[in-house]
Structure 1
Amino acid sequence: MMLLKIDINKWFSWLNLGIKDPSTASAVEVLLQIAVICLIAFLFTFFLRKGITRVIGGMVRRTKTKWDDIFFEERVFQKIFNLIPPIFIDFAFKIVYGKWQHIELFHRFIVAWILVVAGFVIVAVLDAINRIYDSYPIAKDRPIKVFVQVIKIFVISAIIITIVSEFIGESPRNLLVGLGAFAAVLMLIFKDAILGFVAGVQLLANQMVRIGDWIVMPSNNANGTVLEINLYTVKVQNWDMTITTIPTYQLVSASFTNWRGME
């Protein structure tokens, strides 16, 4: 703790910018200490991540399984290391300024930082799982990208609600109850996601469309092979190599021709 104590008056007197107001000097001292703690945290994380990533990379290349390669390519391990700076800063600052009057507000920002980083880690894990699943033949008939995207939306929404509840001092449960009055607005915001999810489930459950099928949908100028089925759109590569993007729910609400049976 003594190492982080900074004599602001000496610093500014050396710069001929002496601060006479004690409150101003104290505020600047706190800001400088935050800067020093952040610098230490980021430098420590940088060198630790660089060293351990090399070790993990070497181990991944020596294994026969492809799962760890995909996790490494999606930078899951690297993103986990991003949790170190906020945790280190929060712990160090509580030691240095445990009785600071704004410590609780500072802690809330740190919690929000941790939640955002955790969200990126979860999204990277979901992307890796989707890539692993796509490497199996069953993924052609039953892709899971729609469900992965729904989980992403749920995770992001949960993180946003938790961050807001942390700052306003309410529990997430009470915040959700209060949001009940704005259900209509939320339905409007997530209309495409809800319609896409329902349509995606119907398409996959009834096997109406698979990746690799040749479909014709004149209303959307689509006449080619299905490349991708996700929560919002279905991508079709037409016979002339152009790409047509069709909203997922339109494949349920509108008519189209699937030439799979002619193969």
Structure 2
Amino acid sequence: MIMTSHWIFDFLVDRGFSDSWAETINMLILLLIVLIVLFVFDYFLRKVIVGIFNRLSLLSKSKFDDLLVKNKVPRNIAHIIPVVVAYKAIPEIFRDFPNAEIFFSKTIEVFGIVLFLWVVRSLLNTFKDFLKSLASLRDKPIDSYIQVFMIFAWSIGLFYAFSIISGIELWKFLTALGTASAVIILVFKDTILGFVASIQVSINDMVRIGDWITFEKYGADGDVIEITLATVKVQNFDKTITTIPTYALISDSFKNWRGMDDSGGRRIKRALIIKQESIKFLTKESVEALKKIELIRNYLETRGKAINTFNSENEIDKSLLINGKNLTNVGVFRKYIDTYINAHSGINKDMTIMVRHLEPTPQGLPIEVYAFSSDKRWANYEYIMADIFDHLLAAIPYFELEGFELPSSANFKK
């Protein structure tokens, strides 16, 4: 290159060009030659390196090399050698223009830093995609950690670039930057909070990708589809997307339904409200009529014998039903519900099954069904619950009970 630059300069001077014009034309010709050489060199080098990686990816059974190609790691690496050659050629091209040499040298250095960051970003994206393909890490917030590394890499790269442009040594630049640490903390407050939160979320296993969470403060109710350094994306059941700050997961309260998914069933907790004025003791005739209901026939016979024995032994005056022991229509109905729930095919029999009274309200007496469906899928769960309560609502009149509902306009007309 030195001999070429002297030859061109000498040739131009011999042809009568002034030294200044000869130097300018010499610089432009050298610059054009270098640009053409670098362009051709970069093109062929990129083809060779990318081709080698493509062949290796086809021969290898691992997905990692496929992801390297997908994230353009070979392509970015191929650019490094032409940049180094260009940096080495700058002093010779601009040997007669020291200011331009300094400017272009710094430009190439800064571009080299950016190129290095591109390579780092491609590698980190490759690691992210590879780790997400592993079953044990698929639900971990990998994006958060990749973003932390990228922020750290970009910060160091920007500091170094500013140091090159300003001419200040890196350590002096960082020392001066330390005085502005309060401003930096304020600017990057959300990033710092998100970083700390993502670590706590991961360590404490609070949220995983794929978890169903309910976050009332942000109107989120759906599956977590992405966890990043700053935000958590939740796809609600109406297919809308809610974005939640990552640090909100540790500063506010939310509900994670993973425990239900991991368990053997999904909870059913719903009550029927019975009008209290319809509750009464059962007469012998009423008991005999209810014995036609197969699910409680054995219960009525066994329980009836025990009650009659108790009342006889204690000489209870049964001219009034309130005396002694008696069956009530609501008690028998509660037993019917319990028997029906235990016999239902959609209920997990290994988990809690309970039929209970809740505290009476101005509307009536709530009888709550507390059980777990064996099928946790939303549509099937709703079907099982509806099937149970369809039957129970229709069964209420058989026990001479009434369900409560607010009067309609038709009731007032009557």
TM-score tier by shorter-chain length is 0.7 to 0.9
* 1:253 corresponds to: 251
Instruction: Give the Cα separation in 2 of the matches to 1:153 and 1:24.
Output: 47
* 1:30 corresponds to: 27
* 1:114 corresponds to: 112
* 2:39 corresponds to: 42
* 2:226 corresponds to: 228
Backbone CA RMSD of aligned residues: 2.5
Would you say the 8 A contact 2:214–2:221 is kept in 1? yes
Highest RCO, 1 vs 2 (Cα 8 Å, sep ≥ 6) = 1
Instruction: Give the Cα separation in 1 of the matches to 2:105 and 2:197.
Output: 42
Instruction: Please give the secondary structure, in 2, of the residue aligned with 1:178.
Output: helix
* 1:240 corresponds to: 238
TM-score (normalizing by structure 2):
0.57
* 2:188 corresponds to: 190
Name the structure with the higher helix share: 1
Q: CA deviation at 1:36?
A: 2.6
* 1:161 corresponds to: 159
Map Cα deviations across residues 77-123 of structure 1 (whole Å, 9 max, x no partner): 11001112221112223345556523333322211111110010001
* 1:211 corresponds to: 209
Q: CA deviation at 1:211?
A: 0.9
* 2:57 corresponds to: 60
Instruction: Give the Cα separation in 2 of the matches to 1:29 and 1:186.
Output: 47
Would you say the 8 A contact 2:141–2:198 is kept in 1? no
Give the gaps of 5 or more residues in structure 2. Answer: 262-414
Instruction: Give the Cα separation in 2 of the matches to 1:99 and 1:257.
Output: 70
Instruction: Give the Cα separation in 1 of the matches to 2:49 and 2:180.
Output: 46
Match of 2:144 among 143, 146, 150: 146
Instruction: Give the Cα separation in 1 of the matches to 2:114 and 2:124.
Output: 15
Identity across aligned pairs (percent)?
A: 37
Instruction: Give the Cα separation in 1 of the matches to 2:239 and 2:170.
Output: 48
* Number of equivalent positions: 256
Q: CA deviation at 1:3?
A: 4.3
Instruction: Give the Cα separation in 1 of the matches to 2:96 and 2:105.
Output: 12
Pick which of 193-202 and 139-148 moved more. Answer: 139-148
TM-score (normalizing by structure 1):
0.88
Map Cα deviations across residues 59-93 of structure 1 (whole Å, 9 max, x no partner): 21111111111111111011001112221112223
* 1:173 corresponds to: 171
Would you say the 8 A contact 2:49–2:78 is kept in 1? no
Instruction: Give the Cα separation in 1 of the matches to 2:21 and 2:254.
Output: 70
1:70 aligns with 2:67: yes
* 2:130 corresponds to: 132
Paired letter, 2:169:
S
Larger radius of gyration: 2
Would you say the 8 A contact 1:211–1:229 is kept in 2? yes
Instruction: Please give the secondary structure, in 2, of the residue aligned with 1:240.
Output: coil
Instruction: Give the Cα separation in 2 of the matches to 1:25 and 1:191.
Output: 56
Instruction: Give the Cα separation in 1 of the matches to 2:183 and 2:37.
Output: 44
Q: CA deviation at 1:26?
A: 3.2
